[in-house]
Amino acid sequence: MGEFVRVESGGGIATIRLDRPKMNALNGQMQQELGACARQVDADPDVRAVVIYGGERVFAAGVDIKEMAHMGYAEMSAHSGGLQACFTAVAKIGKPVVAAITGYALGGGCELALCADFRVAGAGAKLGQPEIALGIIPGAGGTQRLPRLIGPARAKDLIFTGRHVDAAEALAMGLVDKVVPDADVHTEAVALAERFAAGPPLALRAAKQAIDHGLDVDLDTGLEIERLHFSALFATEDAHTGLTAFTQKTKPEFTGR
């Protein structure tokens, strides 16, 4: 439990709650706490799915600019490793992760949302990578995760211009997966997470790893990654439970073993 980031768990769902008023600016302490919370929920067998939520007003307005403003190359070279590490910890959570986006998700906030598997946005949400206006570029995965999600041309548009997109445009370009009224964002994100929480944890982890790792390699290597994960699941109780339930026309109850 950190000062600015905490985990709230119940019913197999863990919410990683960002809470640094007023805008959830991601300073160094918050980055460390975020990474610790990501590793905590990843290791907790009682957690089946994860929601990342910044509260009713804002998801995260970005990395703390005041903290970075006086850094030189040497300082930022060291700092940026920790920045990327905390976001990578979120991206590597081996469970379905849903970002619940209200208000602004800009710069580092947008990059954090990109680390999730799914993004539910409020109708009033604004997303973007405005770093170019500061004379810099995204440094927490924006130049890599964004083009993988929405394609290089759209990613270059957002990164080169630094413009903000509203929820409707974000949905149209595939930056978010669902738009709901602002007041319903957390509820809808939890409902989506609950759909996955009843599933087989080991198979969900394998599917996520196969997809994510497969995107970074050629097709033949990706198919081999898939084959190995597929075969390995036949050593699990969950696979036999699911296969047996299918043949007996019953509902499987997966235990994560």
Lowest mean pLDDT among 33-47, 68-82, 97-111, 165-179: 68-82
What pLDDT score was predicted for residue 110? 97
pTM over 0.85: yes
Q: Residue 117: which of 75, 145, 76 has the closest Cα?
A: 145
What's the burial of 206, exposed, middle or buried (CB within 10 Å: 0-12/13-18/19+)? buried
pLDDT at 130: 96
- Whether 79 has a pLDDT exceeding 90, the answer reads no
pLDDT at residue 96 in the model: 98
Q: Which two tokens stand for residue 66?
A: 């005041």
* pLDDT at 163 (0 to 100): 97
Whether the per-residue pLDDT at 97 is higher than 90: the answer is: yes
Looking at residue 171, its pLDDT comes to: 98
- What the chain holds in terms of domains, given with CATH numbers, is 5-197 (3.90.226.10), 201-248 (1.10.12.10)
Helices (H), 95-248: 108-114, 142-150, 152-161, 167-173, 185-197, 201-214, 219-232, 237-248
- The single residue listed with the structure tokens 């990683």 is 16
